Amino acid sequence: MSRVLKPTKLSQGKRQFASDNYAGVCPEAWASIAKANAGHVRSYGDDEWTAKASDLIRELFETRCEIFFVFNGTAANSLALASMCQSYHSILCHDTAHVESDECGAPEFFSNGTKVLTIAGENGKMDPADVERVVTKRDDIHYPKPRVVSLTQATELGTVYGVAEIKAIWSVAKKHGLSMHMDGARFANAVASLNVAPKEITWQAGIDVLCFGGTKNGTAVGDAVVFFNPKLAEEFDYRCKQAGQLASKMRFLSAPWVGMLQDGAWLRHARHANAVAEYLEQGIRGLPEIKILFPRQANAVFAELPRKVIDGLWERGWMFYNFIGKGGCRLMCAWDTADSDVDDFVADLKSLLKRK
Ligand SMILES: Cc1ncc(COP(=O)(O)O)c(C=O)c1O
């Protein structure tokens, strides 16, 4: 159930700032699905589209890796984490992490009870010293043994971990024998923001498993679980099947990835979404009574807006959340958000600010 204001007639069809999930399917993914819809092909992932998508992901990361396509990010994260832990272990993540607060306990459920331990940290990021503190807090048999660090990239607060920041957490993880998981629901936006090769913020920085998000980048459905550590991928296919995550017509999950990856659409769309978010930030930064809450580094702007402005924008048909992460209004841009959407939104916001 959504906690955003009910859509009014005005909002129907309008591009919104509520979520990058509100956007439709990008043309490249759509064309690829249409192409994949020809004739009969083998099922359950034993098809050419899935092989091709997996090869393109290997090319992108410039390494050998094992890839599995599942229906969504919650399944990707939960099953990946379950494959990295025993039930008596613990997973360390930021206190705003999706795996902690927005997956209805799925990581704990699929891992048969592995405990999630949360870490506070500025701007949605964990500090390595805090990771160390939680790992070394206790070493007795009564404490759920820390086993995995999970980073969200880009973070829930629209910020991004730099290469050095990931490596600093990795050095703590290595020291204590922990594996590294990355929730990359917005991995594309992070790569676009940092302007790095994908390998630099994944396996070269210690990431064992990446959940590579497709939907927020422009696909309809289907995220990729990418195992850089092949040991952890053992029997992952069984885990997917048991969890109801093995698509019989797998080509429709994998074909969009071919469309997204083969000519770089994934990065183009992410760069675009980030750039529109920057434009939005510039449009509202410095306005009276508006406070930008976190450094905008990807495709989301978080801002504190006066109550009358929030209500007024909602009444005018704008949809956005005001409860994500640490609060404030989250204004999220997608692959199809246009500068003109920002102009319209900012114009409404300014007119509401002027009202007494
Ligand atoms: C950071 C993060 N991780 C994972 C997900 C994936 O969630 P879903 O299961 O809705 O695809 C989301 C979606 O909002 C997210 O924001």
Compute the distance from residue 116 Cα to the ligand 1 centre, in Å.
Answer: 17
- Tell me, what's the pLDDT at 325? 73
- Whose C-alpha lies nearest to ligand 1, atom 8? 73
Q: Please give the structure tokens belonging to residue 61.
A: 């990361």
- Residues with Cβ within 6 A of ligand 1? 72-74, 77, 98, 152, 156, 183, 185, 215
Compute the distance from residue 156 Cα to the ligand 1 centre, in Å.
Answer: 9
Q: Please give the structure tokens belonging to residue 355.
A: 């009202």
Q: Please give the structure tokens belonging to residue 82.
A: 């379950």
Atom number of ligand 1 nearest to Cα 97: 1
Return the number of other C-beta atoms located less than 10 Å from residue 17's C-beta. Answer: 26
pTM over 0.75, yes/no: yes
Q: Please give the structure tokens belonging to residue 67.
A: 């890839």
- Whose C-alpha lies nearest to ligand 1, atom 7? 73
Residues (pLDDT < 50) of the chain are 1-2
- Whose C-alpha lies nearest to ligand 1, atom 10? 73
- Tell me, what's the pLDDT at 12? 66
Compute the distance from residue 160 Cα to the ligand 1 centre, in Å.
Answer: 16
Radius of gyration of the CA atoms of the chain, in A? 20
Mutational pocket test of ligand 1: of 91, 94, 102, the residue with most ligand atoms within 8 Å of the beta carbon: 102
Mutational pocket test of ligand 1: of 22, 71, 74, the residue with most ligand atoms within 8 Å of the beta carbon: 74
- Tell me, what's the pLDDT at 338? 97
**CA 163, CA 178: separation in Å to the nearest integer?**
18
pLDDT digits (tens, 9 = 90+) for 111-153: 999 999 999 999 999 999 999 999 999 999 999 999 999 999 9
- Tell me, what's the pLDDT at 355? 85
Atom number of ligand 1 nearest to Cα 74: 9
Atom number of ligand 1 nearest to Cα 103: 9
List residues bridging with 184 in a β-sheet.
212
- Tell me, what's the pLDDT at 181? 98
- Tell me, what's the pLDDT at 324? 77
Return the number of other C-beta atoms located less than 10 Å from residue 222's C-beta. Answer: 24
Compute the distance from residue 80 Cα to the ligand 1 centre, in Å.
Answer: 14
- 145-152 and 329-332 strand pairing: unpaired
- Tell me, what's the pLDDT at 1? 44
- Residue whose C-alpha is closest to residue 146's, from 136, 160, 158: 136
Compute the distance from residue 339 Cα to the ligand 1 centre, in Å.
Answer: 25
Compute the distance from residue 72 Cα to the ligand 1 centre, in Å.
Answer: 8
- Tell me, what's the pLDDT at 7? 56
SS3 123: helix
Compute the distance from residue 73 Cα to the ligand 1 centre, in Å.
Answer: 5
